[in-house]
């Protein structure tokens, strides 16, 4: 038998929320800097996926803030 208690990885150390938010914002800035006005690629499909990914990350950050204000997330 195991001598140590078995726990989930998320129970070991809490996530640094401020660092996670800064990382999300930095990712959005990096993705938007690769879009059409700043680069010389021809395809519009590249811009579509870059903007879609940035929008999804932004929606996740906004959703996290809203849920924390309402009290549904610790």
The domain locations on the chain are 17-70
Provide the CB-side half-sphere exposure for 2 (13 A, CA): 4
Give the torsion through C-alpha atoms of 34, 35, 41, 46, to 10 deg.
Answer: 100
Q: Is 47 exposed, middle or buried (0-12, 13-18, 19+ CB in 10 A)?
A: middle
Predicted pLDDT at 72 = 84
**What separation in angstroms does the CA of 31 have from each of 11, 14, 15, 24, 53?**
32, 27, 24, 11, 8
Tens-digit pLDDT profile for residues 1-54: 567 777 777 677 777 889 999 999 999 999 999 887 777 777 888 889 999 999
Predicted pLDDT at 1 = 56
Provide the CB-side half-sphere exposure for 69 (13 A, CA): 6
Rounded average pLDDT over 56-66: 96
Is the pLDDT assigned to residue 73 strictly greater than 80? no
């Amino acid at each position: 038998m195991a001598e140590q208690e078995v726990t989930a990885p998320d129970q070991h150390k809490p996530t640094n929320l401020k660092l996670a938010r800064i990382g999300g914002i930095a990712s959005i800035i990096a993705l938007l800097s690769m879009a059409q006005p700043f680069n010389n690629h021809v395809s519009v499909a590249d811009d579509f996926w870059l903007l879609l990914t940035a929008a999804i990350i932004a929606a996740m950050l906004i959703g996290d803030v809203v849920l924390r204000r309402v009290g549904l997330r610790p």
